[in-house]
Every structure is written in structure tokens, then in C-alpha cells.
Amino acid sequence: MLIRYLLSHGLSLLGNSIAAIALPWLVLIRTGDAAVAGMVAAVSALPMLLAAVTGGVIIDRFGRRRSSVGADIASAAAVAALPLVDQLSGLTVAWFVVLGVAGAIFDVPGMTAREALAPDVAAAAGVSIERLGGLREGISGVVLIAGPAAAGAAISLLDPATVLWATAGCSALAALTTATLPAGVGAAAKTERESGSRRRRALNDLVHGFNALRGDRVIATLTLVSTGSLFIIGPLQNLVLPVHLVAIDSPGGFGLVVAFMALGGIAGSSVYAAVGARFPRRTLFVFVQITTAVGTVGMALLLPTPLLLAAAAVAGFGAGPLPALLLVLVTERIAEQARGRVMGLQNAVTISAVPLGTLASGLLIEGIGLRPTGALLGAAWVLVAVVTLLLPTLRDLDAEPDVAVAQER
């Protein structure tokens, strides 16, 4: 069961990583306008945000396993429509927007459903959630290296529309693999039936999810910390480093930086999977914050390329265990019947952080220059890390949550 869950996660992520390379290239080839690719991404952003919020309601209503299967099937259909339309009538800007939005609507709820399913799989398989979370993040790191590399190689040989069949196939296989899990794993938790219209029940579900997130100060604080971290690391990785490496005539260096960060993340998450359950959560959290801060500052200072690669590996190693640690804490502190909604709200907030941070950093680069912007991002990360470590709310991550209150949420 554990292997099937991890295989499903890897397949879905592999399909998305291939699409992230093939789809913009397809847009560019068919339209001849680079701005269209940016427009498709921008138009998809709001539906993706809304899907992250409402998807949590669906997950809690219909079950984690069922929602994961449904989202992957719908995602496969949306991606498969691109090469089909391209062959039958030709892809236009309107088709790219419509199908891009359709794909965005299903991707995030599918990701949230698989994440919410993890504690159920861990319990059924008899393994600790720390181990499963660490293995899951390790597989993510491997896929995020292999997927774009495979997509790049495939595009050099095949039309990008043809390459997208691989994404559709991965999503379909992920759905099939998840469907083989026992029906009772990830089933919807029993909740009190509500009267009223579907719209009112959905709104009440969202309010309950928000109250569950807000009501646990540890989870709420960690969500804000993760959002602030992504607001900084997103533009650093997606804007500052590429601009710097192109300026020093080393565009290939950016791929190496991403690879070294991913390799560090694989190592960090693998160590957490092996021994994470043996250490206090507070100790692990302090280690994660300090190690990630050291690596991030090294990257933000735009050091010479060899040192930049070392800093990327350190940052990845420190950040690797964090998603798994957050999954452990959410599992322990949030009631099962609200897990999907809370994770959906968390994903909605964190999804918004990277584009907003990139926009702000772009304005800073224009205003004060590249290196000062990098230094400012590094200083901001240190500030976030220091404040996080000093917050009283996060000083006792090992304390047992109030079970009665958690169930009430």
C-alpha cells in the first residue's frame, strides 16, 4: 500500500513537471508570442487559487482517496485535450486559456487530496507519518530533477504536443494506482448532516475549515511562516538567480543550482524519513530554520558559482524535511473531518506567495539593482527565521494538542 501511494504521488508529479516544460514551449511554437505563455499562466492563477480553497471542501465531503482519483482523471482529460484539439482543429490562444484553466482547476485539489491521504496510508500501512512524509518529499526531489530533464530531451526529438501525452498518461496511471488502495483508506469522515442549500453547506464548510486553521495557533503560525518563506525563496530562485547567471554568461548554471538544491532536498528528506521520529520536533525545526537560512543567504549574496552551488545544496538539505514535518503536525493537530479544508486553505495561501514575491522583487531590481535586491531577500529570510525561532507559539512543538478541542473543530 505504501509503495502504491508513493508511486501515485510520483507519477502525478512527474506528469506536472513534464507539462511545466512542454506546455509553455507548445504555446510559443503555436502562437509565436512569448507573452501568450505568460498570459495563460496569469489567467490560470485565480482559478487555481479558488480551486485550492473549494477543493478542500470536496475532499472532506467525498473522501481523500476518491477525490484524488477524480482530480487525476480530470487532469488527464484536460491535458489530453491539448494534443487532440491541436490535431483536429489547431490550437489557438482561446484554447490554450480554456484548457490551461481547466488543468489548473484540477491540479491543486489533486495535490491537496494526496497530501491529506498520507496519514490514512501511513496508519493502514503501519509506518510512521514521519517516515512516509520523508519518503514522499524524497521522491518529489527525484522527480523534479528527472521530469524537466526528460521533458527537455523529449522536446528536442518530438513535437511538444506529442510530449503532453506523457503528462496525460502519468495522471491517468496515478488515478489508477490510487484507485487500487482499499476503499476504506481515505474515506470521508462522518460529519453531522446540515440542512439548507448546497451553496450554504459549502460556505459553512469553508468557514469551519478556516476556524480549524485559525483555532490551532501552531498550524496557523506555521502556515504564515511557510508563506513568508516562499515569498522570499520563490523570487530568489525564479528571478534573481537566473538574471545573475545570465549576466555572468552562465545560463546553464541555473540548472545546476536547481539540481543541487533538489539533491540537497532529497538528502534532507531521506534523513528525516530514516531518523526523524527519534528527535524532538522543536530540535528538528530549529535545525531546519538555521540550515536553510545559511544556504539561502549564500544564494542571495550571489556568490561565485561553486560557492553558489554549495549554498543551494545546504538550503535544500535544510528545507527538505520541512514539508514532512508540517504534514506530521497537521495530522496530529487537525481533526480528520477538517483535514482537507485546512490543507486546501494552506495551499491557497502558499500558492499566492511566489507570484507576489516575484512581482515585488522585479520592481526592486528595477529600482535598486540586482545585488541589493538579493541582499535584501537574504536579510528578509534571516529576519523571518529569527522571528520564527523566538515565537512563543512554536517553542513547544512536541506538546500534545487538546484532543477535545481538535475534534470540536
Which grid coordinates are listed for 255? 540548472
Distance in angstroms (rounded) separating the CA atoms of residues 272 and 278: 9
Q: How confident is the model at residue 349 (pLDDT cuts 50, 70, 90)?
A: confident
Q: How confident is the model at residue 76 (pLDDT cuts 50, 70, 90)?
A: very high
* pLDDT number for residue 381: 92
Among 231, 229, 226, 223, which Cα is nearest to 341's? Answer: 223
* pLDDT number for residue 4: 95
Strand (E) or helix (H) holding 75? helix 64-88
Select 198-409's CATH number: 3.40.1390.20, 1.20.1250.20, 1.10.357.10, 3.90.79.10: 1.20.1250.20
Q: Which residue has the higher pLDDT, 41 or 354?
A: 354
Average the pLDDT over 169-189 and give the result.
90
Q: Which residues contact 94 (CB under 8 A, 6 or more apart)?
A: none
* pLDDT number for residue 194: 53
Average the pLDDT over 300-318 and give the result.
92
36, 90, 333 from 50: Cα distances, Å:
22, 29, 25
144 pLDDT more than 90: no
* pLDDT number for residue 170: 95
* pLDDT number for residue 403: 45
Among 332, 361, 334, which Cα is nearest to 345's? Answer: 334
374 pLDDT more than 50: yes
Q: How confident is the model at residue 162 (pLDDT cuts 50, 70, 90)?
A: very high
Longest dimension (CA), the chain: 64
Location of C-alpha cell 513535437:
159
* pLDDT number for residue 301: 93
Distance in angstroms (rounded) separating the CA atoms of residues 172 and 255: 29
Average the pLDDT over 366-388 and give the result.
92
321 pLDDT more than 60: yes
Which grid coordinates are listed for 281? 520536533
pLDDT tens readout for residues 44-62: 777 888 888 888 888 988 8
Q: How confident is the model at residue 125 (pLDDT cuts 50, 70, 90)?
A: very high
Percentage of the chain modeled with pLDDT above 90: 40
* pLDDT number for residue 290: 93
Average the pLDDT over 219-232 and give the result.
90
405 pLDDT more than 60: no
Average the pLDDT over 160-168 and give the result.
93
* pLDDT number for residue 1: 86
Location of C-alpha cell 477535545:
404
Q: How confident is the model at residue 37 (pLDDT cuts 50, 70, 90)?
A: low
104 pLDDT more than 50: yes
355 pLDDT more than 60: yes
User: Sign of dihedral through CA atoms 188, 193, 198, 202?
Assistant: negative
26 pLDDT more than 90: no
* pLDDT number for residue 409: 44
* pLDDT number for residue 406: 45
* pLDDT number for residue 21: 80
Percentage of the chain modeled with pLDDT above 70: 92
Low-confidence winner among 56-70, 125-139, 199-213, 304-318 (lowest mean pLDDT): 199-213
The answer to whether 1-181 and 198-409 have equal CATH topology is yes
Location of C-alpha cell 549576466:
247
Average the pLDDT over 101-125 and give the result.
90
Q: Which residue has the higher pLDDT, 91 or 252?
A: 91
In the chain, where are the structural domains located?
A: 1-181, 198-409
Is the distance from CB of 324 to CB of 273 less than 8 angstroms?
A: yes
What CATH number does the domain located at 1-181 have?
1.20.1250.20
SS3 string of 302-366? Answer: CCCHHHHHHHHHHHHHHHCCHHHHHHHHHHHHCCHHHHHHHHHHHHHHHHHHHHHHHHHHHHHHH
